[in-house]
Structure 1
Amino acid sequence: MSNETVTRGLGWLRLSGGPRDLGLALGRAGRAAVAQNLLVHPLWQTVNAPAQAARVARMAETTRARFPWIWTEIEGLAEGLGLPIWQVFAWNCRGDLLASVPDGCTTVMLPGPEPMLAHNEDGLPFFRDTCFIAEAQPEGRPGFHAFCYPGSIPGHTFAFTGAGLVQAVNNLRLVGVEPGIPRMVLGRALLATGSLAAALELLRDAPSGGFHFALMQRGDPRMISVEFGGGGYSVKEIDAAAVHANHALHLRGALTAQTITDSSRDRQARGEALVAAGHEPLAILRDTGGSGLPIRRAATDDPDEENTLGTAMMRLSGQRLDWSIHDGADGPARYSGTA
């Protein structure tokens, strides 16, 4: 069912089977890291507090009704982690329950004849060396490669699928949201869609926490920026090099009902300046310059409690996707290939 390569740095996990099989393998891969670091973190306690129980129950009911296979995958994840399903499900609702969580990220979007998405995945610093790339072959659904955090389902980071979809996801800190379905469940469902059109329809009018998806698809010339949350939805076709950090740029309503941290504001401004100056995407995502907080994050006292844990370069060339994944501040890629 799964073969895990355990090395220092960003790991690699091959897994296949039905939803419970995939969830079980993901849970086993992340069990030690979750037990050692996450269960004692205040954020775990907050999302599992009695005050959140009714909202978690409502989202669980919606998930089971709309995406029973994802609920089954989360059941397998909980079994692999050795934790109660309700605690694990609540953790996978963290961005819907709370306006601000430590799931950062910066995306560089380069449209053109060979469009490219480049992405820094920023998360809780203690997850360094315990995250992994899932190379998954689900039964009856497209295969995918996705960056995974211990304890979380795939689909809310960077990924590419056997159907030709490529995605990079950023947290939006929307306020006043009353969630109906977890944004991470929608991200997981997107990995099973067969086209860019189907992906966009899935995210339309989502009563969830806020996310930004940068999307492209093999054989489609478009690069799409999607911001959604709280029932709002905005789609923008990217026609020039652009950057997206962790706040909404074009979602009506969210522009005045969101939290913009100093880090997100500084990364957005620095990224836009570097793009305008013609810097290469990997250099942009490894940048630590500027007068504000850096794009590449490695500080133990990062104000958002986030560090850069992985960087992806994903370029479409005709029917081919060339990709590389980096887990260091310099040097060559840890993994690379052509899909």
Structure 2
Amino acid sequence: MISERSVGGLRWLWVRGPRAEVFRALGRTAAAEIHAVLGGLPEAGALKAFAETTDGRRLVGEVLAATERMHSRELAELHDLAAGAGFDADAMVLANLRGDLGGDDGVGCSDLGWRADRSYLAHNEDGAPALRGRFMMLTLQIDGEQPVTTQWYPGFLPSNAFVATAGGVAWGINHVQVARPAVAPGRHFIARALQHESSYEATIDYLRSTPTAGGFTYTIGDVHMGRVATVEVAAGRSAVVEAAPYLWHTNHLRYLEAPGGAVGSGGVRSLGQREESEARGAVLEALTPLEPDASWFLEVLTGSVRRTAAGDDPLMTHCSTVVDLTAAEVTLQASGQEPVTLPWAEFVPHLEVVPQPEVVPQPE
């Protein structure tokens, strides 16, 4: 059911089987990492304290009820992960709602996209330095569903970083802070459900039509036609922008009006977070690519927008990822490692279609 390898210095777990068994096995295998990540979560104390207030109980109850109504499958996955790891399920669920409850959360990640004669998608995954050695790759082959390969923070649904699906679609996710969330499902659960969509069009349509409590930005690429787009979702609203030919995103809204104090041109929760995001954005905005290749994108990601947790910066870049959509290749460069390039078919396995037995009509 579960096997392990490594790629570019990152641990890579492959898990296969029925859904509940997959997530319980994943919890058992990564139990030490799950306890370390969630036990050391900087927001854990503030989350718990807020959830115990009158307003906190109300908001957690509303978001969780919406999640249970629309994403019970993904919520069950999280409960199975907690059971396998021997971790308190309520605490794990609360951690996975951390961007949906209006509190401050460290902002990180940068994305670029390009569509011309060739197409590219590029993503920097930024996280806390304490996650070094725990951040990993994960491939899920759940029976009857399309396989997906994700970058994974143990203790969270495998949904909030970089994803590639057997349907030929990939995306990177950037956190967007929302001060007043919508009464809607949690963003991690929506992002995990998104992995079931089988095409570029369906992926974008799902995000357009599915409200989310908090905020995420998805930069999405298609290996079949080379299409690239950014989709902003925040507090129940969405905006879609296609690459023409270049686009970028960091952690502030560019296309939606900032809802209820999201990090955008309107009100913000943390001036320092907004300034840091806008500084990375200014670097990406100033770029004038002509005919970029994968190495150009990797140089950008590992250069001036790479985060090192130096000085006042609380985050570091754990992995830089470039997808050459035209060549169907994925390049990974983990922190302190050399880049590794894999063909798409090796990075994410194809969906195996099991032939159905022929039904022979029986004579009456």
CA contact (8 A) 1:174 1:257 kept: no
Evaluate the alpha carbon distance shift between residue 257 and residue 8 of structure 1 in structure 2; reply closer, same or farther with a 3 A threshold.
same
Q: 1:99 to 1:243 in 2, by over 3 A?
A: farther
**3-state secondary structure, aligned to 1:261:** helix
Q: Does 1:296 pair with 2:306?
A: yes
**SS of structure 2 residue aligned to 1:96:** coil
Name the CA distance, whole Å, in 2 between partners of 1:123 and 1:28: 23
Question: What is the aligned counterpart of 1:284 among 284, 287, 300?
Answer: 300
Tell me the residue number matched to 1:14.
14
Cα 1:257/1:189, change in 2 over 3 Å: farther
Counterpart for residue 247 of structure 1:
252
1:272 paired to 2:285: yes
**2:130 aligned with 1:132, yes or no?**
no
1:304-315 alignment, distance < 5 Å = 305-315=314-324
In structure 2, do the counterparts of structure 1 residues 266 and 168 end up closer, same or farther at CA, with 3 Å as the change threshold?
same
TM-score (norm 1): 0.89
Larger deviation, residues 157-166 vs 259-268: 259-268
Q: Is the 8 A contact 2:71 2:190 kept in 1?
A: no
Q: 1:337 aligns with which of 338, 343, 346?
A: 343
- Where structure 2 has 5 or more consecutive residues not aligned to the other structure, the ranges are 260-264, 346-364
- Cα displacement string for residues 101-145 of structure 1 (whole angstroms, at most 9, x for unaligned residues): 135100111112331111100011100111111111112211011
Rounded Cα–Cα distance in structure 1 between residues aligned with 2:11 and 2:90: 27
Instruction: From the superposition, tell whether residues 33 and 107 of structure 1 become closer, same or farther in structure 2 (CA, over 3 Å).
Output: same
Aligned partner of 2:24 in structure 1 is 24
Amino acid at match of 1:45: G
Cα distance in 1 between the residues matched to 2:231 and 2:152: 21
Q: Are 1:325 and 2:332 matched, yes or no? A: yes
Counterpart check, 1:237 vs 2:242: yes
The letter for the 1-side match of 2:171 is: Q
* Deviation (angstroms), 1:284: 0.4
**Does structure 1 conserve the Cα–Cα contact (< 8 Å) formed by 2:70 and 2:185?**
no
Matched, 1:261 2:274: yes
Structure 2 distance, partners of 1:40, 1:129, is 14
Q: State how many pairs are aligned.
A: 329
Q: 1:54-89: per-residue Cα shift (whole Å, max 9, x none)? A: 323333322222222212211111112211211111
Measured after TM superposition, the shift of residue 4 of structure 1 is: 2.9
Aligned to 1:94: 98
Q: How does 1:38-117 map to 2 (within 5 A)?
A: 38-49=38-49, 50-51=52-53, 52-117=56-121
* Match in the other structure for 1:156: 160
How large is the RMSD of aligned CA atoms in angstroms?
A: 2.3
Bigger Rg, which one: 2
Task: Give the 3 Å change call, closer, same or farther, for CA 67–207 of structure 1 in structure 2.
Answer: closer
Gaps of 5+ in 1: 289-294
Change (3 A) 1:327 1:275: farther
Query: What letter corresponds to residue 281 of structure 1 in structure 2?
Result: F
Cα distance between partner residues in 2 of 1:310 and 1:328: 6
Corresponding residue for residue 3 of structure 2:
3
Identity score, percent: 26
SS state at 1:26 partner: helix
Correspondence for 2:180 among 176, 179, 184: 176
Q: SS at 1:134's partner residue?
A: strand
Deviates more, 1:307-316 or 1:191-200: 191-200
Q: Secondary structure at the match of 1:189?
A: helix
User: CA-to-partner distance for each residue in 1:30-66, whole Å, 9 max, x for gaps?
Assistant: 4223323531444112223313333233333222222
Amino acid at match of 2:138: A
Distance 1:170 1:311, change over 3 A: same
Task: Describe the shift of the 1:35–1:264 C-alpha distance in structure 2 as closer, same or farther (beyond 3 A).
Answer: same
In structure 2, the CA distance between the partners of 1:278 and 1:189, relative to structure 1 (3 Å rule), is same
Instruction: Return the alpha-carbon distance in structure 2 between the equivalents of residues 7 and 198 of structure 1.
Output: 30
Verify the 8 A CA contact 1:105 1:245 in the aligned structure 2: yes
Bigger mean CA deviation after superposition, 66-75 or 249-258: 249-258
Say whether the 8 Å CA contact 1:247–1:258 is kept in structure 2. Answer: no
Instruction: Give the aligned residue type for 1:117.
Output: L
- With 9-18 and 275-284 compared, the bigger mean Cα shift is at 275-284
Q: In structure 2, how many angstroms separate the alpha carbons of the residues matched to 1:26 and 1:58?
A: 29
